[in-house]
Structure 1
Amino acid sequence: MTADLTWLTLTAVLVGLMWLPYTLERILRIGLIGATGYNPDSGVAGFRQADETPPAWARRAHAAHANVTESFPVFVALVLTAHVAGLAEGVVTTAAAVYFFARLGHAVCYWLGIPLLRTLSFFAGLGAFVAIAIVLLSAA
């Protein structure tokens, strides 16, 4: 597998696992049945009315996951387009690696509540996929 696709795969795994921390917290807090959304009072699926607010770190973990799911499809499209176009060398591979580490850093900083580093890592990830877009548009 080429380096660009390796970074894409690693990023997909990261995004695919980011739901685990806040979901496990919910299961530990209200139990497996409650976490599925089953409401025993109504007999239908839906969030329980008495569900207490999750801790701040779990809310931030959920927000970090929601944030990455917004930009990840664009990243996938750019990397795959560069790969198919034969442009996945140098800048594209480096930018894909930067995007992975930036999004990992963004998630950790979000979970820990470190806003300045979270913002910097977000913009590093944004810059990475802008760099890939520039490579693609330059070759058009």
Structure 2
Amino acid sequence: MTTDLTMLVATALLCLGIPFIYGFGRFKQPGGAAWAAGNREQALAVPAWTERAVKAHANLIESLAPFAILVLVAHVSARANAATALGAEIFFWGRVAHLAIYVAGIAYLRTLAWFGSWVGGAIILAQIF
């Protein structure tokens, strides 16, 4: 499997794993297990880091489809190369950094990590065209 596709799978696994992070924050709260098993009709008071993890997850979900499209188009059009591999790695590690920094609550560094992942996608896009 190419580096590009490996990073795509790693990003998908990251996306699938993030709910365990904020799930932990929810389950720690009084009534959290009952809330999770119920219909969630009322909000559950959680620490701020838990809500930030939810937001980081939503942000990754928004970015995952375009990233997947770029990686897959580069792959099927035979334009995948060392640059697309680098772009995919930058995207993945940028998203890991984004998650960690967002959960930690470091505002401006979070934006820099997000932009870094965007640059990774732009590198792949440049190779397609």
Whole-angstrom distance in 2 between the partners of 1:16 and 1:68:
10
Deviation, 1:52, is 4.2
Q: Structure 2: give runs of 5+ residues left out of the alignment.
A: none
Look up the SS of the partner of 1:135 in the other structure. helix
Whole-angstrom distance in 2 between the partners of 1:90 and 1:131:
11
Match of 2:26 in 1: 26
Structure 1 residue ranges (4+ consecutive) displaced by more than 3 angstroms after TM superposition: none
Match of 2:57 in 1: 65
Whole-angstrom distance in 2 between the partners of 1:86 and 1:52:
48
Q: 2:46 corresponds to which letter in structure 1?
A: P
Deviation, 1:33, is 2.6
Q: Structure 1: give runs of 5+ residues left out of the alignment.
A: 39-44
Whole-angstrom distance in 1 between the partners of 2:126 and 2:92:
18
Match of 1:87 in 2: 79
Match of 1:12 in 2: 12
Deviation, 1:72, is 0.7
Look up the SS of the partner of 2:101 in the other structure. helix
Match of 1:35 in 2: 36
Whole-angstrom distance in 2 between the partners of 1:68 and 1:101:
12
Q: How many residues align?
A: 128
Q: 1:95 corresponds to which letter in structure 2?
A: G
1:47 to 38, 41, 50: 41
| 1:87-135 Cα shifts (integer Å, max 9, x gaps) | 1111100000000000000000000011121111100111111111121
Task: Tell me the TM-score normalised to structure 2 length.
Answer: 0.92
CA contact (8 A) 2:80 2:127 kept: no
Q: 2:33 corresponds to which letter in structure 1?
A: L
| Higher radius of gyration, 1 or 2 | 1
Greater helix share, 1 or 2? Answer: 2
